[in-house]
């Protein structure tokens, strides 16, 4: 049956299914051949018109080979969904951690699509999560037919971005990887409402080899060879335009990819939209994507090149869905024309931990007593999913600024530079930033994590705002109980405007929900004294202001609120100009554009 199937696919004989979207599209399902003979399941939707069309490709281990989004047909694009080998109705065995396998496969898919009679030879890719990450791997191997990619909420570094953030084990990943079939059951046969005996055969043949794979990430707690064949290792080979999306509060794959978009790809042809949200949201409109594709696939002179490289969508409310976001999403939007403009606008600002739970601009001048909390893996509560759960007494320490004299905006990664000791030989640390609002509510902003034995910094890549750890077993450094060490915890990239009258809070506690801390109970101690001045360093945007009233509590996507039970120090915090700050403010005023939520950016 399989040999017969290959013959049918190679001859391009397709199963025609009922038209989608009330007759607006023509739907085809079939199998395309890879060079090694493996047949990949696909579904194609075409505009109901004659001619050849540029192709938008969705390539993943989920249901892309069984379903396809016909709404792209309305913009004059063919939409092609293809399943990885070994998933859905496709033949073969999936290698879910091997971008050097699914990348070359994806490149073959691109070439196949470019040669089809319904294609004009130009291909782009779209999708978020794994479907976005696969675009980076495919682009590293693809030929000239692939013109552009649109990856959102991605995790190019499979170890640091998703499996072991800060070296802390993420239990979500083994469940996601288990069996390798990515929960695609029934494939096209079920989802299209038609019979496909070949799909049943392929799924039966996938099952045993997929389940036989060793995908237990607990066997690889350090960044060893298991993790090095990932899209991050291929980024230097990607030389095509990118329109990316990052959600700051994405707690499935986190927001670390913001740094990879900025640092690892060509800044002249990389555009990113960032905003509040979870893993399933993205504040980037369909209209913006169409303009991007029209420019690079249809050669439309629509001014895309003048589009700002970085767009920040502030205070996104509601969950309209990824393809229903208006161009003017958010309370307001701001932008930087180039990545260099954004880099120049950011000033590292240090806030020092002080006795009495204070957080401020002044280093400790004299000896101050340390603070301690109880480490117990069962007590973490400072992530969006569990933010409103009760906090176990003694399970965290917090440091809070006085009320802000004026608005303050921070962008990008931060660094929590902590002098810490523990009664254990290793411990896990969770950092949380929150805003203590004028209305007495505490609002979640961002997290960061580190297993302290992973505190060794890479010789290249670390900055004042972004600690990069080697995560190598050879560099692991156990703690000597009771002896303080300096550990830098990366606060995941974010953008947030703290309002005047609000306070900034830093909480230090235990990893929670899917991040599994080390077993056992210990006492962790935080020092803040001369010679061991703990601090957080944030990316300040001088002169930034909010351009909308303070939203209702919990109105922002994935930024829950809870009643503040802590104390805010008396007085006010006025972030000083500092050397060169006035110049930076002037520069920011000429390179950074701000629009209201109702105005479309160019």
Over residues 528-558, the pLDDT tens digits come to: 999 999 999 999 999 999 999 999 998 888 8
Under 8 Å CB-to-CB from 228, ≥6 apart: which residues? none
Q: Is 539 left (phi over 0), alpha (psi -120 to 50) or beta?
A: beta
Residues 372 and 235 in one domain: no
pLDDT digits (tens, 9 = 90+) for 551-563: 999 888 889 999 9
CA distance 149 to 89: 25
Question: Residue 139: inside a domain, yes or no?
Answer: yes
Residues 354 and 228 in one domain: no
Residues 72 and 201 in one domain: yes
What band does 377 get if pLDDT is binned at 50, 70 and 90? confident
Q: What angle, 0 to 180 degrees and rounded to 10, lies between the N-to-C axes of helices 99-115 and 130-141?
A: 70
Structure tokens at 315: 């205070």
Instruction: State the pLDDT at residue 70.
Output: 86
Q: Which residue has the higher pLDDT, 11 or 28?
A: 28
Residue 119, domain CATH? 3.40.50
Question: Residue 294: inside a domain, yes or no?
Answer: no
Residue 548, domain CATH? 2.60.120.260
Task: Write out the residue range of the structural domain in which residue 547 sits.
Answer: 347-576
Burial 258-270 (b: 16+ CB within 10 A, else e): bbbbbebbebebb
Residues 371 and 227 in one domain: no
Residue 135 main-chain phi, psi, to 5 deg: -65, -40
Question: Residue 308: inside a domain, yes or no?
Answer: no
pLDDT at 596 over 70: no
Query: How many structural domains comprise the chain?
Result: 2
Cα–Cα separations (whole angstroms), residue 490 to 186, 236, 405, 519:
42, 24, 27, 22
Rg of the chain on CA atoms, in Å = 25
Give the strand pairing for 119-128 and 53-60. parallel
Average pLDDT over residues 176-199: 51
Contact in structure between 167 and 453 (CB atoms under 8 Å) = yes
Question: Residue 29: inside a domain, yes or no?
Answer: yes
Q: What's 457's DSSP letter?
A: B
Please state the pTM of the whole predicted model.
0.90
Average pLDDT over residues 214-221: 80
Q: What's 469's DSSP letter?
A: B
**Using CB atoms within 10 A of its CB, is residue 601 exposed (0-12), middle (13-18) or buried (19+)?**
middle
- E strand or H helix at 210, and its extent? helix 197-212
Among all chains, which residue has been given the structure tokens 């490289």? 309
Q: Which residue has the higher pLDDT, 98 or 370?
A: 370
Question: Residue 531: inside a domain, yes or no?
Answer: yes
DSSP letters, 9-48, are HHTT--EEEPPSTTTTEEEEEEEEE-TTS-EEEEEEEEES
Residues 355 and 495 in one domain: yes
Q: How many CB atoms lie within 10 A of CB 180?
A: 22
Using the 3D structure, point to which of 240, 265, 287 is the last residue of a domain: 240
Cα–Cα separations (whole angstroms), residue 559 to 51, 316, 321, 332, 540:
47, 10, 17, 17, 20
Under 8 Å CB-to-CB from 343, ≥6 apart: which residues? none
Within its chain, how far is the Cα of 231 from the centroid?
14
Contact in structure between 490 and 419 (CB atoms under 8 Å) = no
Contact in structure between 55 and 124 (CB atoms under 8 Å) = yes
What band does 595 get if pLDDT is binned at 50, 70 and 90? low
Question: Residue 113: inside a domain, yes or no?
Answer: yes
Contact in structure between 432 and 249 (CB atoms under 8 Å) = no
What band does 68 get if pLDDT is binned at 50, 70 and 90? confident
pLDDT at 326 over 70: yes
CA distance 135 to 208: 28
Question: Residue 291: inside a domain, yes or no?
Answer: no
Using the 3D structure, point to which of 240, 271, 297 is the last residue of a domain: 240
Residues 351 and 233 in one domain: no
Average pLDDT over residues 251-271: 95
Residues 227 and 82 in one domain: yes
pLDDT digits (tens, 9 = 90+) for 453-490: 999 999 999 999 999 999 999 999 999 999 999 999 99
Using the 3D structure, point to which of 198, 213, 240 is the last residue of a domain: 240
pLDDT at 25 over 90: no
Question: Residue 288: inside a domain, yes or no?
Answer: no
Residue 338 main-chain phi, psi, to 5 deg: -135, 165
Q: What is the mean pLDDT of the chain?
A: 87
């Amino acid at each position: 049956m399989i040999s017969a199937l290959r013959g049918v696919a190679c001859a391009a004989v397709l199963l025609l299914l009922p038209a989608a979207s009330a007759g607006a599209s023509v739907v085809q399902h079939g199998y395309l051949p890879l060079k090694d003979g493996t047949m990949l399941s696909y579904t194609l939707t075409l505009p109901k018109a004659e001619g050849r069309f540029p192709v938008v490709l969705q390539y993943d281990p989920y249901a892309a080979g069984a379903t396809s989004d016909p709404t792209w047909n309305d913009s004059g694009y063919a939409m092609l969904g293809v399943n990885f080998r070994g998933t859905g109705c496709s033949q073969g065995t999936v290698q879910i951690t091997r971008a050097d396998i699914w990348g070359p496969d994806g490149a073959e898919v691109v070439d196949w699509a470019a040669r089809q009679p319904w294609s004009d030879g130009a291909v782009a890719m779209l999708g978020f999560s794994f479907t976005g990450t696969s675009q980076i791997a495919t682009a590293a191997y693809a030929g000239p037919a692939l013109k552009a990619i649109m990856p959102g909420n991605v995790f190019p570094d499979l170890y640091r971005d998703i499996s072991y953030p800060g070296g802390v084990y993420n239990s979500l990943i083994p469940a996601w990887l288990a069996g390798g079939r990515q929960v695609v059951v029934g494939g096209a046969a079920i989802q299209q409402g038609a019979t496909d005996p070949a799909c049943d055969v392929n799924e039966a043949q996938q099952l045993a080899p997929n389940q036989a794979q060793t995908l237990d990430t607990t066997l690889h707690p350090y960044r060893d060879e298991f993790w090095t064949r990932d899209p991050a290792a291929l980024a230097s080979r990607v030389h095509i335009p990118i329109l990316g999306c990052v959600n700051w509060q994405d707690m499935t794959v986190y927001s670390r990819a913001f740094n990879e978009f900025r640092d690892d790809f060509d800044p002249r042809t990389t555009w990113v939209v960032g905003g509040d949200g979870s893993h399933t949201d993205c504040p980037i409109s369909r209209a913006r994507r169409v303009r991007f594709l029209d420019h690079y696939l249809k050669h439309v002179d629509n001014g895309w090149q003048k589009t700002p490289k970085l767009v920040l969508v502030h205070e996104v409310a509601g969950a309209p869905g990824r393809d229903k976001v208006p161009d003017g999403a958010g309370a307001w939007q701001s932008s930087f024309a180039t990545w260099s403009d954004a880099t120049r606008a950011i000033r590292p600002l240090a806030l020092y931990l002080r006795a009495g739970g204070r957080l401020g601009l002044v280093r400790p001048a004299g000896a101050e007593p340390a603070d301690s909390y109880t480490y117990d893996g069962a007590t973490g509560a400072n992530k969006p999913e569990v933010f409103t759960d009760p906090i176990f007494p003694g399970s965290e320490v917090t440091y809070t600024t006085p009320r802000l004299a004026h608005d303050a905006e921070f962008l990008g990664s931060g660094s929590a530079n902590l002098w810490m000791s523990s009664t254990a030989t290793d411990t896990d640390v969770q950092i949380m930033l929150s805003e203590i609002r004028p209305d007495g509510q505490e609002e979640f902003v961002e997290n960061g994590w580190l297993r302290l034995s992973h505190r060794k910094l890479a010789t290249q890549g670390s900055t004042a705002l972004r600690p990069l750890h080697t995560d190598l077993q050879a560099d692991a450094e156990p703690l000597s109980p009771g002896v303080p060490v300096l550990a830098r915890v990366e606060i995941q990239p974010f953008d947030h405007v703290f309002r005047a009258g609000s306070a900034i809070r830093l909480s230090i506690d235990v990893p929670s929900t899917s991040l599994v801390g080390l077993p056992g109970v210990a006492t962790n101690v935080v020092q803040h004294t001369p010679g061991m001045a703990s601090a957080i360093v944030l990316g300040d945007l001088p002169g930034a202001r909010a351009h909308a009233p303070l939203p209702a509590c919990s109105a922002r996507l994935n930024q829950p609120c809870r009643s503040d039970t802590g104390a805010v120090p008396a007085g006010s915090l006025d972030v000083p100009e500092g050397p060169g700050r006035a110049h930076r403010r002037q520069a920011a005023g000429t390179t950074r554009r701000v629009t209201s939520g109702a105005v479309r950016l160019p």
